[in-house]
Amino acid sequence: MSDDDFKVSPEDQIRYLLRRIGELSRVEEGGVIDFELAKKLGHQIKGNADTFEFPNLTAAAKELEAMALSQNELGVKNVTRTLLNSMREQLKQLAP
């Protein structure tokens, strides 16, 4: 079986997006940025966006990881918002 034969189901894509949206929503709980969580999520999303067929998330995930590593609070907030908006759009397309 080649990589081209592997297809992620829409149900798995929806579960993935819902899980990541929930996790990303926690990055700035209580108004305090959790840089460690942001770094971890950026790394995870960067690593599996292609697998789940969301290549448009990869660049923002890389940026989130970089912003978290440099502890750039405004950068983390902005990129988190961008990722959340992109994921919510993807979710609308999968489950209208």
pLDDT tens digit string along 31-59?
A: 899 999 999 999 999 999 999 999 999 99
pLDDT of residue 5: 58
Residue 23 has pLDDT above 90, yes or no: yes
Residue the block writes with tokens 């969301």: 54
Section 17-35 average pLDDT: 93
Residue 7 has pLDDT above 90, yes or no: no
Helices (H), the chain: 10-25, 35-48, 58-69, 73-94
Token couple for 66: 């970089």
